[in-house]
Structure 1
Amino acid sequence: MWFTRSTLNRLFLLALPMVVSQGALALMAFADRFFLSRISPVHVAASLGGGVSFWVCLCFFNGIAAYGNAMVAQYFGRKDMRSCPRVVTQGIILSVIAMPMLLLMAWPMLSLFEWMGHAPEQVALEKPYFMTFIMGSFFFLVKTVLASYFSGIARPRVVMIADLIGVFLNIPLSYLLIFGRFGLPELGIVGAALGTVVACLLSIGIYLLFYFNPIHARRFHVRKSFVYMPGIMRRYLRLGLPSGFEVLIGLGTFNVFLLLFQSYGVAEGAAMAMVFNWDMLSFVPLMGLNIALMSMVGRTVGAGDMSKTNEVIASGFVIAVTYSGLMGLMFVIWRESLLGVFATPGSDFAPILAVGAPMMVGLATYAVADGLILVCSGVLRGAGDTRWLLITSVTVHVLTMIVQVFVITVWKLEPLVSWWVFVSMLIINALLYLWRVLGSRWRHPDRLARVMAE
C-alpha cells in the first residue's frame, strides 16, 4: 500500500469539492436541528425519528440512483461520451417509477412511531415531518441522479456549487418557516422539512443550467440522450439494485435500532439525536471521499487500466484516517461542550448529558471505522463489486439488529450497552470491508469485463 504525491493530490482535488458539498448538506441538517432545539428537546428527537424514517423509505431508490456515478465514470473512462447523459435519462425514468412505490411505503411507516412506543407528543411531530419529505421524494432522487452524473464526468465543482447554493437558501428559509418571520407562517417542524425540499428544487435548477450549457451539451450529445436505452437500463439495475438493497438494509436496521433506542425515553432520544448531529459532521464529509473514489476507480475500470488503483486506495486511506482520527479526538476532548450546543434554554440538560457524554466517546471510537468503510465501499462500488457488499452488509446489520432487539426489549439492558453493541458492529464491518479490498478477487480482469457488459 504505497502512493505518490501526484495521486494523493489528484484524489484530494477531486474529493475536496465533494467533501464541501456533503459537509454543506450535513450543515443544513445540523442547522435545522439547532433551530428546533430552540423550541424543545421533543422537536429534536422527532426530527431524527421522522428524518431517518424518510431516508429508510428513500434509500433503496436513492442507492440505485447514486450508482449512476460509477456507471457514468465507467463510460467516461472508456471515452463513450454519448452514453454518459443516457445514464441520466434512465435514472430519471427510475425516479418516476419510484414515486408511487414511495407513497405506498409511507402509510405503514406512519404507524411505526407509535408501535415503537414513542411519546404521543413526539409522534404528533414525527408524522407531518416525515410526510413533508415523502411528498418531495421525486426531487431528491432527481438531484441524486444529476449529482452522480457530474461526479462521474469529474466535474465535482458543479456538485459543490449546486449544494452550497441550496444550503445558503435552506438555512435562512428554514429559520423563517420554523419561527414564522417576515410574514411567513409559523410551521415549526414542518417548516424545517419544507425548507429542505425547496432548497432541493433550487439545486436541481443549478444542475440543469450546467447540464444544458451549449459547450457541455455538444460534447456529450445531451439533446440526443432523451431515449430509453435497454442495455444501459439493464446495467443500471444489475449493478445498482444490490447497492440499493445494501443501503436499504443498512439504513433500515439502523432506523429500527434508532426507534427502539428512543423507547428508553425522551432524554435518551434527544441525546442520540445530538450525538448523531456531530456524527454527521464527521461521516457526511467523508461521503465526498467515497464518491470521489467511486468515480476514480470507475474510470480505471472503463479504461481497462487498473495499474493506478492501489495508489488511489492508499491515498484514500491516508485522507480518511487522518480526518476521522482528528474528529475522534475532538469528540472525546470537548464532548460535553459539543452536546451543550443543543441545550434548550431554561430546561434541565443534565439527564441528556449523562447519556450523551459516554455516547460521544463511542462516536470517537467508531469514527475511524466509518472512514475505512467509506473508502472500501467507494472502491468496491466503482469496480462493480456490489453483490459482495450487499451480502456482507446485510449479514452484519441483520445479526446486529437481532442482538439489539434482545438487548433493548427482552433483556432490557441499559442504553449504553445498546450503544456499544452498535459501535462494535461498525468496527466489525470495517474489518470485513478492509479484508475484501486488500484481496484480489474483485479486480480480476474477467470479473471487470462482466461489469462493463450491457
Structure 2
Amino acid sequence: MVISQGTFALMIFTDRFFMSLVSPTHVAATLGGGVAAFMCMSLWIGLLSYGNALVAQYLGAGKKSLCSRIVTQGLFIAGLCTPILWFMGYGVYLSFDGLGHDPQQLVLEKQYFEILLAWGFLTLFKACFSSFFAGIGNTKVVMIVDLLGVVINVPLSYSLIFGYAGAPEMGIAGAAWGTVLSNFTALVLFFLFYRSRSNSTEFSVADSYQFDRPLFNRYWRLGFPSGLEMFLNVAAFNVFILLFQSYGVTAGASAAIVLNWDLLSFVPMVGLHIAVISMVGRCMGAQDFQRLNSVISSGFVLGLMYSGSLALLFIFFRESLVGVFMTSATENDAIFQLSSWMMIGMASYVMADAVILVAGGVLRGAGDTRWLMVTSVLLHWLMVLAQYVVIVELQLGPKMAWMIFVGLILALALAFTLRLTGSGWRKHIPQEWTPVEAANL
C-alpha cells in the first residue's frame, strides 16, 4: 500500500515538475486547480474508502460473501453521488473568479480543474475496488494496478503537455488528460482482477450484484462521517492554499514546490494508514484484541522510522530539493529563498503526519469516525480562521501563515495521540459490530 500510494504521489509530482518547465504560473495553477478538484471528490472518496474497514471486518468474521456485497453497495453510492459531484464542481468553478488570482493563473487553474472534475467519477468507482482489495489484504493487486497507472501516466502526460510522439501540444490540459486516461486504465484493470475466477469463487462475486439495505445503510452511516471529515479538511486546506496564493506568484510557486515534496512523504504514509485500517478491522471482526495492540505498535514503528528519515533529508538537503524545480523557466531567487525556508517547517511536521495517519487508521478501523470528524474539522477550520486574520486582516507575510499551518499539524498529532491512549474509542467495538451481525444473519 505504501508503494501504491507512492505512485499516486509520483503522478502529481511529475505533473508539477513538467509544469515547472513551462512557467511558475503553471506550477501554481496545477496546485490551485488540483486541490480544488480533489476537494470536490474528497467527500465521496472518503465515504467509499470506508469500504476497506467494512470488508476487513466481514473477512475477520468469516463472512466472505458479504465482502463482495460491500463493493456493490459502494458502486451504487458512487453512481448516486456523481451528479452531486458535478453540481459541487460547477459551484467551485464559478468561485475561482472571486479569488483575486493572477489572470493568467486563473485561466489555467480553471482549465485544469474542469477536466479533472468532469471525469472524477472514475476515481469514485476505482475507490470501491481498491477498498475491497485492501480490505481482504490482497494489496499486491492495488500495487500492480497503481504501478501500471503511473507507467502510463508519466509518458502520456509528457507527450500531451509538450506535443511529443504525435500527440497534440495541450499544456496544462494535457497534464489533466493524462491523469484521466490513467485513472480509466486503472479502473478497467481493477474490474478484471475483481472478476477473476479465483476471486469470484472465493467471495461469491456473481451473487453480490444486489441492493442490500442493511449493508448500504451501514456503509453510509459509518462512511459518511469519514467522507465529511475528508471533505471539510480538504476544503480547509484548499481555502488556506487559495489565501496563501493571494500573496502572489512567488508564494504560490513556493507552496507548490514544498507541498510537492510533502506529497512524497505524506501520500506513501497514507498506504500505511490504509493497511492499519484493514488490519484493525480484521481484528475487530475476529475479536482478537491482543493482535490489535500489536498492529498499533507496529504501525507507529514503521511510520516514525519512515517519516524520521525523510525529516532529516528535508532539513539537510532542502536547497538541493528546491533546486530540482529551479528550471530555466522558473528560476527565481525569491522563490528559491522562500521555498528553502518553508522546507524547514515541512520537515518539522512529517513525523506528526505519521502519528496522525497511524492513530487515525486505528480509530477509523474501530468505527470512531464521529470523534475523528469533529476534532479534525474543528482544528482545520480554526487554522483557516487564523489564516484569514493573518493574511487578510493583519496582512502579515507568508512565513507567518506557513508557521500557523505547521502548528495545525502538530496540534492534530497531539489530539489523536490523546484519544488513542484513552479508552473512549474502544467502546465502539461491540456497539458497531454486533448489530450488523444480527442484521445480516
* TM-score, normalised relative to structure 1: 0.94
Structure 2 Cα separation of the partners of residues 24 and 254 of structure 1: 22
Aligned equivalent of 1:14: none
- Using a 3 Å threshold, how does the CA distance of structure 1 residues 449 and 91 change in structure 2: closer, same or farther? closer
Aligned equivalent of 1:268: 251
Aligned equivalent of 1:427: 410
- Using a 3 Å threshold, how does the CA distance of structure 1 residues 346 and 107 change in structure 2: closer, same or farther? closer
The Cα offsets for residues 335-357 of structure 1, whole Å up to 9 and x where unpaired, read as 11101111131554201012111
> Shift in Å at residue 452 of structure 1?
4.2
Q: Do structure 1's residue 362 and structure 2's residue 345 form an aligned pair? A: yes
Map of 1:337-376 to 2, 5 A cutoff? 337-345=320-328, 347-376=330-359
Aligned equivalent of 1:447: 431
Q: Do structure 1's residue 279 and structure 2's residue 259 form an aligned pair? A: no
Letter in 1 for 2:395: K
- Extract structure 1 runs of 4+ deviating beyond 6 A: none
Moved more, 154-163 or 331-340: 331-340
CA contact (8 A) 1:113 1:259 kept: no
- Using a 3 Å threshold, how does the CA distance of structure 1 residues 140 and 347 change in structure 2: closer, same or farther? closer
Structure 2 Cα separation of the partners of residues 450 and 193 of structure 1: 45
Give the SS at the match of 2:243. helix
Aligned equivalent of 2:57: 74
Structure 1 Cα separation of the partners of residues 435 and 345 of structure 2: 38
CA contact (8 A) 1:302 1:452 kept: no
Structure 2 Cα separation of the partners of residues 291 and 174 of structure 1: 28
Q: Do structure 1's residue 56 and structure 2's residue 39 form an aligned pair? A: yes
Letter in 1 for 2:334: P
1:245 to 228, 253, 271: 228
CA contact (8 A) 2:23 2:329 kept: no
> Shift in Å at residue 229 of structure 1?
0.5
Map of 1:38-117 to 2, 5 A cutoff? 38-117=21-100
The Cα offsets for residues 403-425 of structure 1, whole Å up to 9 and x where unpaired, read as 11101100001101000000001
Structure 1 Cα separation of the partners of residues 294 and 195 of structure 2: 35
The Cα offsets for residues 72-103 of structure 1, whole Å up to 9 and x where unpaired, read as 00111011011101111111111111111111
Give the SS at the match of 1:227. coil
Map of 1:36-435 to 2, 5 A cutoff? 36-345=19-328, 347-435=330-418
- Using a 3 Å threshold, how does the CA distance of structure 1 residues 451 and 21 change in structure 2: closer, same or farther? farther
The Cα offsets for residues 150-195 of structure 1, whole Å up to 9 and x where unpaired, read as 0000100000000000000000000010011122111110110111
- Using a 3 Å threshold, how does the CA distance of structure 1 residues 204 and 22 change in structure 2: closer, same or farther? same
CA contact (8 A) 1:114 1:120 kept: no
CA contact (8 A) 2:326 2:336 kept: no
Structure 1 Cα separation of the partners of residues 412 and 370 of structure 2: 15
Provide the alpha-carbon RMSD of the alignment: 1.1
Letter in 1 for 2:394: W
- Using a 3 Å threshold, how does the CA distance of structure 1 residues 38 and 331 change in structure 2: closer, same or farther? same
Structure 1 residues without counterparts, runs of 5 or longer? 1-17
The Cα offsets for residues 254-287 of structure 1, whole Å up to 9 and x where unpaired, read as 0000000000000100000000000000000100
The Cα offsets for residues 204-227 of structure 1, whole Å up to 9 and x where unpaired, read as 121112111112101111011110
Structure 2 Cα separation of the partners of residues 147 and 382 of structure 1: 16
Structure 1 Cα separation of the partners of residues 314 and 209 of structure 2: 48
Structure 2 Cα separation of the partners of residues 363 and 19 of structure 1: 20
Structure 2 Cα separation of the partners of residues 161 and 256 of structure 1: 34
Aligned length: 437
> Shift in Å at residue 450 of structure 1?
5.5
CA contact (8 A) 1:125 1:189 kept: yes
Letter in 1 for 2:143: M
CA contact (8 A) 2:51 2:74 kept: yes
- Using a 3 Å threshold, how does the CA distance of structure 1 residues 61 and 123 change in structure 2: closer, same or farther? same
Letter in 2 for 1:74: Q
> Shift in Å at residue 117 of structure 1?
1.1
Structure 1 Cα separation of the partners of residues 353 and 431 of structure 2: 27
CA contact (8 A) 2:64 2:203 kept: yes
> Shift in Å at residue 304 of structure 1?
1.8
CA contact (8 A) 1:301 1:448 kept: no
Moved more, 341-350 or 97-106: 341-350
Structure 2 Cα separation of the partners of residues 119 and 56 of structure 1: 21
Give the SS at the match of 1:111. helix
* TM-score, normalised relative to structure 2: 0.97
> Shift in Å at residue 114 of structure 1?
2.8
> Shift in Å at residue 446 of structure 1?
3.7
Structure 2 Cα separation of the partners of residues 356 and 452 of structure 1: 50
CA contact (8 A) 2:160 2:171 kept: yes
